[in-house]
Structure 1
């Protein structure tokens, strides 16, 4: 099993939120990592704000490791079973079952294909 040390956590893809700071508040950019509460920084440019949040992330993670506290991980690191339960109206269930029968595939296969197609259209 991989040891979850600073290198492990720094290698994870934590989403970074960057917002422009208004000129009346000093200008520049505010950066934070929403998954790591209190992990924030700023910078005069986007690049500086990003570099600074990377430094802040390292300090935040090292502090949590030293205190043996739980560190959240980004969703792409989670394991997914590939199963979920969906409740839907009977009329939609009937329509989907009819279409899958007409296509000659199982209802599960048809719904998985329809979801994959729809998700691909949004990406």
Structure 2
């Protein structure tokens, strides 16, 4: 399995005073380095090692977020007051609650 499609991020960690490389599909993995490029390379190399270990033990690696199929539907729970306000806003704009929620999510 290739490491190419996984979701990597490098950010500064004020706690560690170093850059930390992470990968969304393996939330328990990280790599610290003073150099951001080295943090990126480090996390990619670590994922390669983990994938090799998983292959040897017969474990199924996680599917990359980029390669997953998405239906376009998900359930969101909000407090009743927020639901009421969204319904009112949708009615005033003459759009469905679903359309209003989708517009607001897309704008964030």
Change (3 A) 1:17 1:69: farther
Matched, 1:32 2:32: no
Q: Which residue of the other structure, out of 8, 11, 25, is the alignment partner of 2:4? A: 11
Q: TM-score, normalised by structure 1?
A: 0.58
The structure with the greater share of residues assigned to strand is 2
Counterpart residue number, 2:91:
99
The structure with the greater share of residues assigned to helix is 1
User: C-alpha deviations, 1:22-58, integer Å up to 9, x for none?
Assistant: 6xx7x54333335325533232311111111111111
Segments of structure 1 that go 5 or more residues without pairing to the other structure are 1-5
CA contact (8 A) 2:10 2:19 kept: no
The count of corresponding residues between Structure 1 and Structure 2 is 104
| C-alpha deviation, 1:77, in angstroms | 3.5
Counterpart residue number, 1:78:
68
User: C-alpha deviations, 1:66-104, integer Å up to 9, x for none?
Assistant: 2111322344433333344566749829x45x828x83x
Matched, 1:121 2:107: yes
CA contact (8 A) 1:39 1:60 kept: no
Task: Determine helix, strand or coil for the equivalent of 2:32.
Answer: strand
Counterpart residue number, 1:45:
35
